[in-house]
Chains A and B, each alone.
Chain A
Amino acid sequence: MLGFSLRSLWNRRFVAGLTVTAIGLSVALILGVERLRDGARDSFANSASGIDLIVAPRGNPVQILMATVFGVGGTGTGMTWESFEWLEDRPEVAWAVPIQMGDNHRGYPVIGTDGSYFEHFRHSGGQPLSLAEGAFFAGDMADAAVVGAEVASRFGYAPGAVIVNAHGSGEVSFDVHDDAPFTISGVLAPTGTAVDRMVFVTLEGFDALHAQEEASLVDPLDPSALLAEDHADDAAHEAHEEHGEHESVEAGHSHEPARINAVYVGLSDRAAVLGLQRAINDRTADPLSAVLPAVALAELWGITGTAERVMRLMAWAVAVAGMIGMVVMLSATLDTRRREFAILRSVGATPNRIFGLIVTEAALLTAAGLAVGLVLLTLATIVTDPILSARFGLRLGLDVLGARELAILGIIFCAGLLASLIPAYRVYRMTLADGLSVRL
Chain B
Amino acid sequence: MHPLRIERLVYRWPPAVRSTLDIDALSLASGERLFLYGPSGCGKSTLLSAIAGVVDVPKGAVRVAERDLGAMRGGARDRFRVDHIGMIFQVFNLISWLSALENVLLPCRFSPRRRARAGDEPAGTAQRLLDELGLSGPFLASKPANELSVGQQQRVAAARALIGKPDLILADEPTSALDEAAKAAFVDLLARECAAAGTALLFVSHDRSLERHFDRSVDFEALNRSAA
Contact = CB atoms under 8 A, between A and B. Distances in A.
A439 to B, nearest CB: 10
Given A7-B98, A8-B97, A340-B95, A348 B49 contact: no
A440 to B, nearest CB: 10
B78 A344 contact: no
A300 interface: no
B93 A349 contact: no
Interface in A1-31: 4, 7-8, 10-11
B54 interface: yes
A346 interface: yes
A438 B52 CA distance: 15
Q: Which of A11, A340, A436 lies at the interface centre, i.e. has the most chain B CB atoms within 10 A of its CB?
A: A436
B110 A347 contact: yes
Contact of B54 (A344, A347, A436): A436
B54 A349 contact: no
Interface in B36-76: 45, 48-49, 52, 54-55, 74-75
A435 B55 contact: yes
Contacts, number: 67
B95 A435 contact: no
B81 interface: yes
A275 to B, nearest CB: 77
B106 A344 contact: yes
A347 B160 contact: yes
Nearest to B81: A348
Contact of B87 (A8, A11, A346, A351): A346
A346 B166 CA distance: 13
Nearest to A8: B97
B94 to A, nearest CB: 7
Given A344-B106, A348-B81, A349-B78, A437 B97 contact: no
24 contacts: A7-B98, A8-B97, A11-B96, A11-B97, A339-B92, A340-B96, A343-B92, A343-B93, A343-B95, A344-B95, A347-B107, A347-B110, A348-B83, A350-B79, A351-B75, A351-B78, A432-B74, A435-B52, A435-B54, A436-B49, A436-B54, A436-B87, A437-B89, A437-B172
Interface of B: 45, 48-49, 52, 54-55, 74-75, 78-79, 81-83, 87, 89, 92-98, 106-107, 109-111, 114, 160, 172
Given A343-B93, A347-B110, A435-B54, 4 more contacts: A346-B81, A347-B106, A348-B81, A436-B87
Interface of A: 4, 7-8, 10-11, 339-340, 343-353, 432, 435-438
